[in-house]
Structures are given as C-alpha cells and as structure tokens.
Amino acid sequence: MTPVRIACVQLAPRVGDGDGNRLRAREAIETSVAAGARLVVLTELCTSGYVFETEEEARSLALRPEELSEWRTSGAYVVGGFPELADDGALFNSAALVGPEGVIAVYRKTHLWDREQLYFEPGAEPPPVVETPLGRIGICVCYDLSFPEVPRGLALGGADLIAVPTNFPLTSAVPPGEKPIELVVAMAAAHVSRVFIALCDRSGSERGVDWVGATAIVDDRGLVVAGPVGPGEGTVVADCELERARDKSWTERNDALGDRRPELYAGEPAAVD
C-alpha cells in the first residue's frame, strides 16, 4: 500500500475579505503540496468567512464553481468550502473537489446550521463519493456529520476517506483532557464504517463567534492520527494507507458493513407498552 499524505489547513478567513481569503487558500494549498500533500482539505466557506450579517453580504462573496479552478495544482486534490452562486441565482453552502484537471465535483450542504438557513438553500443531492487516483473521496460539510446517516451513506457508497470542511462554532469550552465532541463524533463515524476522516475546522474570532479548532485526521479504526489543532491557525498532516478502508472485516465472521440488517432499520422500532 502506498500511503497518501493528507494535509488539513485550519485557516482564519476574514468575513468580507474575498480576495485575501482566496489568496490565503491558494497559499495554503501551495505550501501543503510543496510539503508532499496529495490531498489538501480546507475549511467550510474558506473563501468568504462565515458570520454573514445579511444575504446581500453572502451573495457579494459568492463564487461560480469554475472559479475554484484556481485551486488546481499539478498533482494534488483539494477539498474546500465556498458560497456557491448557482445558475438560477440560488446560493448554496458548497464544497468543491478540485484536481489537476480542474473542478471535479461540487457538493451543496444538505443540513444547514442556524443562520445559514437565512442565506443558503439546502442542497438537494446526497453527499458524493468521487473516484480519484488517491482513492475514493467522500465529501460532506460540518453539521452534516451530526447525522450518522451521512458518513454511513458515504461509506456504503465506497468512500475510503471523507473530507469534511467545517466551521464548528464554540458554544461551550472543551473540558480539560477531553476531545471536542465534534471530533468524538468523527472518530465514531470512522470506526463504525472503517473509513478515514479528514476534518478541517477554522480559527479566527469572527463577529463574536469563536471556533472549536477541531481540525484532525482520523484513521479507519477511529484513532486520531493528527490533531486536533485547537485555537489558532495550524496544519495537520498524516500519511494514510487509504486502501485499508476497503477491508471492513472485524473478525473472520464479522464485517462492519456486511453485518448490517437494513430490513430492521427502515421502520420505527417496535414499541412495547
């Protein structure tokens, strides 16, 4: 197995500074690729910042997907978030996968957090799994990960790694010695479906909102192999044998996906009075 070097760059976008954010995103990609990364994950809405005051502000920072071709490099793949302006004028909280050939996929976030609902339409398509030379990359964004159906669906769709651009607002201090619960959720999702997860959070206090700083890389057993970054900017890097995610066996008799009993999950559980 050839390990794939993954870098998650916890940036501090500045809301409203579209040009500066795009420049910093490109610099982060270039620095990571120069250090050998083949997959670079950036934060949610990394080109715009997150805490918009009005829909107009969000709209003024929106991009067409083709503009993300500026993330193209000669040999790496990049996943990062941006506010997407669709052909019909709708706005989405989207993430793009960009490879050497340009923009390969765009995912529109399907579970919108809080005030995002004021500015963005929810995506109508499930999170995608994209075949690349590195392996199969699944994509979802931030609050999507709070729905265990999402990483499970991506694993069932064949994802070896799930890239998760995110902006986790810090709502209560992480207890000393504990991991952020958002990272705990990622560890569990990775473990039960035997997939790698590359979580890229942000930093930089923005209009009164601080961030968890949960940027981390989790392996296919649910172990944190790099990170979390914590407050402040920072990059985590790990060399991951993504092919390991193709093996779902726990024992000679058990398989993480094969042992599912979907006929028992479809309906509501039996209620006993």
Instruction: Tell which residue, 150, 78, 160, 90, has the closest CA to residue 120.
Output: 90
> 58 with 91: CB under 8 angstroms?
yes
Amino acid letter, residue 15: V
- Residues 62-121 touching its own copies, rule: CB under 8 A, are 104-105, 110-111, 113-115, 117
Which residue type is seen at 159?
A
- From candidates 79, 85, 96, 187, binder to its own copies by CB under 8 A: 187
Residue closer to its own copies by CB (options 83, 127) is: 127
Active-site choice (8, 46, 109, 182): 109
Tell me whether residue 109 is one of the annotated catalytic residues: yes
Binding mask 226-255 toward its own copies (x if CB under 8 A, else -) reads: ------------------------xxxxx-
Strands 102-108 and 129-132, by their bridges, are: unpaired
- Judged by CB under 8 A, which of 149, 207, 232, 247 binds its own copies? 149
Q: How far is the CB of 106 from its own copies (least distance, A)?
A: 9
Q: CB burial class (10 A; 0-12, 13-18, 19+) of residue 57?
A: middle
Which of 8, 140, 142, 200 does the annotation list as catalytic?
A: 142
Cα–Cα distances (Å) from 267 to 32, 261, 263, in that order, read 46, 12, 8
Give the whole-angstrom CA distance, residue 166 versus residue 226: 17
Which residue among 2, 19, 87, 177 contacts its own copies (CB under 8 A)? 177
Q: Does 261 bind its own copies (CB under 8 A)?
A: yes
Rounded to 10 degrees, the C-alpha dihedral 157/84/118/174 comes to 60
Interface with its own copies includes 165 (CB under 8 A)?
A: no
Interaction site with its own copies (CB under 8 A): 104-105, 110-111, 113-115, 117, 122, 125-131, 138, 143, 146-150, 152-154, 156-158, 175, 177, 181, 184-185, 187-189, 191-192, 221-223, 250-254, 256, 259-262, 264-265, 267-273
